[in-house]
Amino acid sequence: MNLLAFNLPIVVLLPFIAAAAAAYSAKFNRLAAAWVSGIATIISLALLIPAAAAIFGGETIIQNWNWLHQAGLQFAFRLDGLAMLFSFLILIIGLLVIIYARWYLAAKDSMGRFFAYLMMFMGSMLGIVMSENLIQLVVFWELTSITSFLLISYWQHRKDAREGARMALAITGAGGLALLGGVILLGHIVGSYQLSDVLASGDLIRNHELYLPTLILILLAVFTKSAQFPFHFWLPHAMAAPTPVSAYLHSATMVKAGIFLLARFFPALSGTDAWMWLVGGAGMATLLIGAYTALFKHDLKGLLAYSTISHLGLITLLFGFSSQFATVAAIFHIINHATFKASLFMVAGIIDHETGSRDMRKLNGLLKYMPHTAALAIIASLAMAGVPLLNGFLSKEMFFAEAVSFSQGNSFAWIIPVLVTIAGVFSVAYSLRFVHDVFFNGEPIDLPRTPHEPPRFMKIPVDLLVIVCLAVGILPMYTVAPILDIAVTASLQSTPPEYSLALWHGVNLPLIMSAIALGVGALVYFRRKPLIANYERHEHINAKQYFQKILAAVIRFSEWLSARFDKGSLQNAAAWTLFATLVISAYGFISFNSPLLGDRTLLPMEPVSMIAAAVIIVASILTLAWHRQRLQSLIVIGVVGLITSLVFVKFSAPDLALTQLSVEVVTIVLLLLALYFLPQTTPKETGMSRLGRDALLAIASGIGVFLFTMMVLSRDFSSISEYFLANSVPGGGGTNVVNVILVDFRGFDTLGEIIVLALAGLGIYAMLQGLHINPHSRFRINADAHPVILQTFSRLMLPLMLLVAVFIFLRGHNLPGGGFIAGLIASVALIVVYLSNGIEWTQSRLRVDMHMVIGFGLLIATTTGLAAMLVGYPFLTSAFSHIHWPVVGDFELASAIAFDLGVFLVVVGSSVISLVQLGQLSHKPENPEGV
């Protein structure tokens, strides 16, 4: 089989498997978790490589498995240039982060938990970038929100970590909800959830009346995930995460997921004014706010967080320009930002690790303590500042060029180059601060530890990333050009425009803007003291405070609202549920504008039926009227059940009549046994308002059911049962269509149902274990608990009744009967023996464990189904043939009978286990004090 037919889901799912393996292996050796994660990442990469040739050749690989494709749900993966670029970023930077984290984590941190979270996150990110089905994309999108929550709150003992994680989850989770809405609208417009279809229908989407809501919902997801203004405030708080997490989430992955969506949906959504204003506006605001604020953060990671916000704004702004050149610049900057920002976060982590502080007011002059780290930090910072010969310079030049060319369209747009130059100035200033304030500028001020170089392997990931910054910056054509080209092609869904990655384009406006940014930026940095002092004199909006206030208000409101409905009382909750049902049904009745009754000819009434109906009605009312005298009301409810079975007899449902009759016996015996332990009477309720309310609800329900039943019964209908009637004999091999439906056509339903029944039986057994309960009242028990006549007869009857059960069972496929009914009859037979002879007597002779009976029943039923699968048919396909037995005659043997045997055993096991366990309660030694 060709690897390219199925490698993508493996690439995505392997990290999830590795997560479990990492968590497990860490029990034995804490470093094993890191090894498992690293190896899994390498395997994922290796599985991706074979596809590279095709992708670089311009192909798109789509691997598709139908799931519920009628509903647009497919398990579908896609690999094109854009997905390839992002997958490489995720996997390669992921691998570096794994190496780094193995050295970063302290001995008391749980390695297993960390790497398990990290790998789940990696898998979710890969899922986003490789999803072909949009609903599947949303699922992975939500998974990144959840796994990033776990990663940010990794140090659970810290309050800031918990709060930061909760904030990130709330904001990005809300965005995920918006994305689901947007994707569903997209699917509605296009008629498919497959990305290929959506990307091909750009004009259809842009001209659709739902375009604006779709765009806004998807942009909400993008802006929340990629920390765009006004949702940017969660990102700085997420810095409470361990630094490897920040290096991963905030450089190459989590925050780039939003940007990825912009690139992905670019051909489908971009090019309108709404896109330009919304995307461009948010990008510009974020770029400026991020760049400005970053300069004033004293915390190394705080500076980097705001710088990340600013760079994300830059990329968003580029997409907002909506031109093909701008897309090239945006994707190029995604790569560059990922490399230099990951290395800077790692450097910040190294500094924190080796000095014990991240405060730039204390960190000074580290150059002489850690020269190697300093060199790396300086190069990466200069890339961030956009200094020539480094990768940041190239994409920043392209960005400036786009800002300039965009400004020519419109007389007010000259402001754009000015604003982006200002952002450039601040970006140079904060980059300089990261270098100068930390590595130069005097001596460190009371640091917790004496600084020194970190372990060698902590620097290797940074080394590699910095080498990439340099290589891309100096030789762009030989390094980044091919992958950039295919990524841009995939994002645009067309051939990219001619662009040049050259270092030198002559003296032009963008170069002048860069020069201004560098010059003024350096000036701003060296005049920073008054600026910082000025910044700190003013109050700043504390987004966290507002967020927590809003959150608290929302929680208070929902608590208030739930308290209105849920007063901790079942009666109250049930009444509300009924009331809501009545309101909805009333709406249905009112909006139904055909005549109430149809014109189907009704059956004539006759006296016997009238008597039966009268008995049902009287018995139901008596059950109600006598409900405080429990035994009486139990007796009359038995009458209702018996007459119900007569109704089934009357209206051509012999199977139902048999079932109802035998269930009735078992139910009443069970309730009688239970009543022994419960009060014999119910206290009188005096709350007239509650009684009145309940009476109203009851009467309204009754009237509604009456009307509804009449409305249906007076109309004709077309049934889907023609199929069952026509295929019962040829397809299922049985003439009793009801039974054939149960064991063959709808066998899967029946399997579910016997599982429920088995669980009920086992649940009852579990609840009654170790239960100490005494009869509520003193009963005068007859000294002759097991009368001889009853004993004798029950013993005589047992074989007969079992024979009846076998008979009913065997004929079930062709005549009324079957596993359910036979099971109930057999249960009744056994229960009678238990009742008349006592539990000890019976159990000493019937040494069958009812648990085993239930288990075997389920096993037989499931095995029958699986056997069909083994020979290549769908689950539970039935096979049958007729054989001739000597005495019995022609006998049909269907595999469905084995399934029915399973049903039989589960029914017997569950009923007998319930009743016997209940009966056994009274055999416990009595406590004279009562309860």
Partner 1 sequence: MEILLALSISVMTAAGVFLTLRARTFPVVLGLTLLAYAVNLFLFSMGRLQIGLPSVIDPQQGGYTDPLPQALVLTAIVIAFGMTAFLIVLALKARAELGNDHVDGLHLAADEIDESAEKPKTRHSSNRKKFTKRDKRR
Closest separation in Å from C-beta 355 to partner 1:
51
**From the CB of residue 142, how many other CB atoms can be counted at a distance below 10 Å?**
19
Which of 134, 219, 634, 896: binder of partner 1 (CB under 8 A)?
Answer: 634
Which of 299, 463, 694, 892: binder of partner 1 (CB under 8 A)?
Answer: 694
Contact indicator for 622, 636 with CB cutoff of 8 Å: yes
Interacting residues with partner 1 between 461 and 480 (CB under 8 A): none
Which of 144, 153, 228, 659: binder of partner 1 (CB under 8 A)?
Answer: 659
CB neighbours of 737 closer than 8 A, spacing ≥ 6? 721, 724, 725, 728
Does residue 895 bind partner 1 (CB under 8 A)?
no
Which of 32, 338, 363, 656: binder of partner 1 (CB under 8 A)?
Answer: 656
Which of 593, 717, 884, 925: binder of partner 1 (CB under 8 A)?
Answer: 717
Interacting residues with partner 1 between 24 and 43 (CB under 8 A): none
Does residue 214 bind partner 1 (CB under 8 A)?
no
DSSP string, 422-475: HHHHHHHHHHHIIIIIHHSSS---S-SS---PPPHHHHHHHHHHHHHHHHHHH-
**Cα–Cα distance for residue pair 606/608, rounded to 1 Å:** 6
**Cα–Cα distance for residue pair 239/164, rounded to 1 Å:** 8
Q: Which stretch binds partner 1 (CB under 8 A): 158-166, 276-284, 400-408, 632-640?
A: 632-640
Contact indicator for 145, 172 with CB cutoff of 8 Å: yes
Closest separation in Å from C-beta 708 to partner 1:
8
Between residues 701 and 791, which has the closer beta carbon with respect to partner 1? 701
Between residues 605 and 883, which has the closer beta carbon with respect to partner 1? 605
Between residues 495 and 721, which has the closer beta carbon with respect to partner 1? 721
Between residues 389 and 647, which has the closer beta carbon with respect to partner 1? 647
Tokens for 483, please give them. Answer: 């992958």
**From the CB of residue 82, how many other CB atoms can be counted at a distance below 10 Å?**
26
Does residue 931 bind partner 1 (CB under 8 A)?
yes
- 3-class secondary-structure state, position 601: coil
Closest separation in Å from C-beta 876 to partner 1:
15
Which of 623, 836, 878, 895: binder of partner 1 (CB under 8 A)?
Answer: 623
H-state helical runs in 493-568: 509-526, 528-537, 543-565
CB neighbours of 878 closer than 8 A, spacing ≥ 6? 732, 733, 743, 744, 747, 868, 894, 895, 896, 899
Exposure string of 812-830, with b = 16+ CB inside 10 Å and e = fewer, is: bbbbbbbbbbbbbbbbbbb
Does residue 789 bind partner 1 (CB under 8 A)?
no
What are the backbone angles phi and psi of residue 808, rounded to the nearest 5°? -60, -40
Q: How many CA atoms, within 13 angstroms, populate the side-chain half-sphere of residue 371? A: 1
Between residues 48 and 742, which has the closer beta carbon with respect to partner 1? 742
CA dihedral 343, 349, 350, 353 (to 10 degrees): -170
Q: Which stretch binds partner 1 (CB under 8 A): 132-140, 172-180, 269-277, 810-818?
A: 810-818
Contact indicator for 461, 98 with CB cutoff of 8 Å: no
Between residues 772 and 884, which has the closer beta carbon with respect to partner 1? 772
Does residue 865 bind partner 1 (CB under 8 A)?
no
DSSP string, 173-199: HHHHHHHHHHHHHHHHHHS--BHHHHH
Between residues 87 and 911, which has the closer beta carbon with respect to partner 1? 911
**Cα–Cα distance for residue pair 357/703, rounded to 1 Å:** 74
What are the backbone angles phi and psi of residue 717, rounded to the nearest 5°? -150, 160
Does residue 648 bind partner 1 (CB under 8 A)?
yes
Q: Which stretch binds partner 1 (CB under 8 A): 104-112, 146-154, 555-563, 657-665?
A: 657-665
Q: Which stretch binds partner 1 (CB under 8 A): 60-68, 263-271, 500-508, 610-618?
A: 610-618
Interacting residues with partner 1 between 41 and 100 (CB under 8 A): none
Which of 586, 705, 785, 803: binder of partner 1 (CB under 8 A)?
Answer: 705
Between residues 543 and 773, which has the closer beta carbon with respect to partner 1? 773
Closest separation in Å from C-beta 660 to partner 1:
6
Closest separation in Å from C-beta 70 to partner 1:
22
Between residues 403 and 918, which has the closer beta carbon with respect to partner 1? 918
Which of 5, 507, 541, 603: binder of partner 1 (CB under 8 A)?
Answer: 603
Closest separation in Å from C-beta 817 to partner 1:
10
Instruction: Report the run of H or E that residue 893 belongs to, with start and end.
Output: strand 889-894
Q: Which stretch binds partner 1 (CB under 8 A): 301-309, 350-358, 425-433, 683-691?
A: 683-691
H-state helical runs in 322-453: 324-355, 371-385, 391-407, 415-432, 438-439
Interacting residues with partner 1 between 532 and 571 (CB under 8 A): 568-571
Which of 613, 800, 848, 859: binder of partner 1 (CB under 8 A)?
Answer: 613
Closest separation in Å from C-beta 621 to partner 1:
6
Which of 286, 421, 837, 910: binder of partner 1 (CB under 8 A)?
Answer: 910
Q: Which stretch binds partner 1 (CB under 8 A): 200-208, 496-504, 548-556, 621-629?
A: 621-629
Does residue 800 bind partner 1 (CB under 8 A)?
no
Closest separation in Å from C-beta 595 to partner 1:
16
Which of 207, 508, 562, 682: binder of partner 1 (CB under 8 A)?
Answer: 682
Q: How many CA atoms, within 13 angstroms, populate the side-chain half-sphere of residue 262? A: 39
First to last CA, the chain: 70
- 3-class secondary-structure state, position 494: coil
Q: Which stretch binds partner 1 (CB under 8 A): 66-74, 509-517, 868-876, 908-916?
A: 908-916
Closest separation in Å from C-beta 612 to partner 1:
8
**Cα–Cα distance for residue pair 403/398, rounded to 1 Å:** 9
Between residues 544 and 776, which has the closer beta carbon with respect to partner 1? 776
**From the CB of residue 323, how many other CB atoms can be counted at a distance below 10 Å?**
17
**Cα–Cα distance for residue pair 187/178, rounded to 1 Å:** 14
Instruction: Report the run of H or E that residue 697 belongs to, with start and end.
Output: helix 688-713
Instruction: Report the run of H or E that residue 202 belongs to, with start and end.
Output: helix 202-206
> What distances in angstroms separate CA 306 from CA 234, 399, 594, one per listed residue?
11, 19, 64
Does residue 667 bind partner 1 (CB under 8 A)?
yes
Contact indicator for 248, 342 with CB cutoff of 8 Å: yes
- 3-class secondary-structure state, position 629: strand
Does residue 609 bind partner 1 (CB under 8 A)?
yes
Does residue 608 bind partner 1 (CB under 8 A)?
no
Between residues 9 and 855, which has the closer beta carbon with respect to partner 1? 855
Interface with partner 1 (CB under 8 A), residue total: 121
Closest separation in Å from C-beta 701 to partner 1:
5
Measured over the CA atoms of residue 606, residue 608, residue 612 and residue 615, the dihedral's sign is: positive
- Indicate the DSSP class of residue 276: I
Which of 710, 804, 806, 879: binder of partner 1 (CB under 8 A)?
Answer: 710
Does residue 684 bind partner 1 (CB under 8 A)?
yes
Between residues 468 and 918, which has the closer beta carbon with respect to partner 1? 918
Which of 35, 499, 677, 875: binder of partner 1 (CB under 8 A)?
Answer: 677
Interior CA angle at 239 toward 233 and 244, to 5°?
Answer: 140
Contact map string, positions 740 to 779, toward partner 1, x by CB under 8 A = -xx---x--xx--x--xx--xx-xx--xx--xxx--xx--
Interacting residues with partner 1 between 100 and 159 (CB under 8 A): none
Q: How many CA atoms, within 13 angstroms, populate the side-chain half-sphere of residue 227? A: 29
Closest separation in Å from C-beta 578 to partner 1:
6
Interacting residues with partner 1 between 274 and 313 (CB under 8 A): none
